[in-house]
Chains A and B, each alone.
Chain A
Amino acid sequence: MSICSFNSSAELIPPVATDPHGMNSALPVSGTSLSGHLHLRCECRADGVPYISEQSFRAPVHLSKSHLDHGHLVQSIVNPTAGFFDGDILDATIHVAPGAKLVLSTPSASRVYRTRSGAAAVNSQHFDIGEKASLEWIPEPFIPHAGARHVQRTKINLHPTGSLLFFDWIAPGRVAMGEIFAYQQLRWELDLFLGDALIARERHDLRPGGDSLEALRAKFPAAHYLSVYVAGKLAENWPAAELDALSGDAVYLGHGPLTGGVSVIRALCRDSLAARKLIETLRPLLYVAAGMKPPGLGRIFC
């Protein structure tokens, strides 16, 4: 097995050198914030087994050990600082090389804390899925604390023969603490390219003080929002009737096609339990419909 791996985690004050991710171009930590990156490349061996061929990361993220399940490489991304603070920057680039199958998850919720300086935490992520490659991105919920500011920019380049299962789960806040839509601002951007064609573009600027959450709160006052993009083999045998049946008193769900065989699912859920139950049902439903077994995530659910 040939694994070429380099790991530069948690080097807060790096030595002088040149690094393609800017690791050494400036101090990655200021008095109150971190500037981190994640670079990951998953390739496929000659015998079809996927492996991590390149990895480079720095706080606020860390990689745990990966494992194989049902032909997929399952990799967890850990946030050792237990959340993102104002001014934190994470620049992530994920490449899934032709034929490789990668599942990325997080073992716990992603949190963004109250901004002290007024600055936002910024997460830029770029996913590149090659020919006949497959990527599943299934993080735990994103929980913005009261007073938090966060920007998430996502760009997905999907080869027309590639497969994708991409989840986003946004919680209203720390509901048990009485923080429901108490954050300052969430900026959510997503571009999904199928080959060279832009097929989905999202730009959401959520500010609880205005009308931007009106639609989110209209059905359930503390709604959890779930978005799923599905492409390739996972969308070929679309379980439309089964998806329709997932709507109910606690879930308002819709689904349908984009262009190029890509599908989208959107759902509003009454609370976190409803959202989790939906994902626990939805994920195996999509895999089984595609004639596959869902890879185990190595965490409590799914």
Chain B
Amino acid sequence: MLWLLQANDTAYPSGAYAHSFGLEELVEAGVITTATDLENFLEKQILPALLTFELPFFARAHAAAVAQDSDELFALDTELDAWRIPSELRDASRRIGSQRLDLLALLDPSPLILHQRKISPRSHHLVVTALELSSLPLAQAARAFAFQSIAGLTAASMKLMRIGQTSCQQISRRTLVRLGEKIDAALSHEADGWFNPLLEIASLRHARANHRLFIS
């Protein structure tokens, strides 16, 4: 539990604070401009993607990490590139993952972690988090991963929109409650895609924007 708190602390240097994962372009395009828009976006676009794809995929990576199956971890890491169509989202995931993996190799230099770093130093965030939290039960590890995803977006929103900390925390709380109601069922599903052309286009456009605050 203490390790879980450390790895999810905002002071943990993952570099996630520098990413908006497409949100910046959606704000710029006028799709998300209010707190209501943000909450709606989280509820109807981000949570379904987490529950349909990210968390079931995370469950596979966590199982591979628990089984010390480095081949499966490498295969999942490679497959994630194919799922993440916009290059900026692939790159953001690998940037954050590599920073976490470098730190993890210092904090917990197990043979599996060192091997993963050797064969795939720029591993995806999802795979590295599964490795990082493999000593925890899946239900807790998956909640931590999902929390990172939601918290990353809400933190970015405060720099992009006229939204206060209290309002942001209220949105986070309600979003996490909605997530908590469905997360256990999602962990036993096969990973499936979630149709989000808007976020894909936003991310593709953000990569070519002349002015931007975030890396992604």
Contact = CB atoms under 8 A, between A and B. Distances in A.
A240 B192 contact: no
B31 A254 contact: no
A242 interface: no
B202 interface: yes
Interface in A108-126: none
Given A198-B79, A200-B85, A214 B45 contact: yes
A255 B82 CA distance: 16
Interface stretch (B8-16, B58-66, B99-107, B193-201): B193-201
A268 B45 contact: no
A221 to B, nearest CB: 13
Contact of A253 (B87, B88, B201): B201
B44 A268 contact: no
A299 interface: no
Contact of B204 (A201, A213, A215, A256): A256
Nearest to A188: B195
A215 B85 contact: no
Interface in A244-285: 244, 247, 252-259, 264, 266-268
A205 interface: yes
B152 interface: no
A237 interface: no
A1 interface: no
Given A254-B202, A266-B201, A268-B201, A216 B195 contact: yes
A198 B79 CA distance: 7
Contacts of B192: 203, 205
Given A205-B192, A252-B29, A258-B87, A199 B197 contact: no
Interface string A185-227: 0001001100000111111111000111111101100000101
Given A198-B82, A201-B193, A256-B88, A216 B201 contact: no
B208 A240 contact: yes
Given A252-B29, A253-B201, A204 B195 contact: yes
A244 B205 CA distance: 8
A267 B83 CA distance: 18
B81 interface: yes
B81 A268 contact: no
A214 to B, nearest CB: 4
B86 interface: yes
Nearest to A225: B197
B201 A254 contact: yes
Q: Interface SS of chain A: helix, strand, loop or mixed?
A: strand
A212 B195 contact: yes
A39 to B, nearest CB: 27
A276 B201 CA distance: 19
B207 interface: yes
A268 to B, nearest CB: 6
A255 B204 CA distance: 6
A211 B208 CA distance: 29
A257 B204 CA distance: 9
Contact of B200 (A218, A244, A254): A254
A211 B44 contact: yes
B191 to A, nearest CB: 8
B37 to A, nearest CB: 9
A218 B79 contact: no
Contacts of A206: 195
A218 B26 CA distance: 10
Contacts of A266: 85, 197, 200-201, 204
Contact of A254 (B43, B48, B78, B205): B205
Nearest to B192: A203
A225 B201 CA distance: 11
B98 interface: no
B45 A252 contact: no
A202 B44 CA distance: 19
B120 to A, nearest CB: 14
Contacts of B205: 247, 253-254
B203 interface: yes
Nearest to B26: A218
A199 B82 contact: yes
Contacts of A198: 78-79, 82
A214 B202 contact: no
Nearest to A227: B197
- The 10 A-B residue pairs with the shortest CB-CB distance, nearest first, are A254-B204, A203-B193, A254-B201, A215-B198, A204-B195, A201-B82, A214-B44, A211-B44, A215-B196, A254-B205
Given A198-B82, A201-B83, 4 more contacts: A188-B195, A244-B208, A247-B205, A264-B204
6 contacts: A211-B48, A215-B195, A215-B196, A215-B198, A215-B199, A256-B86
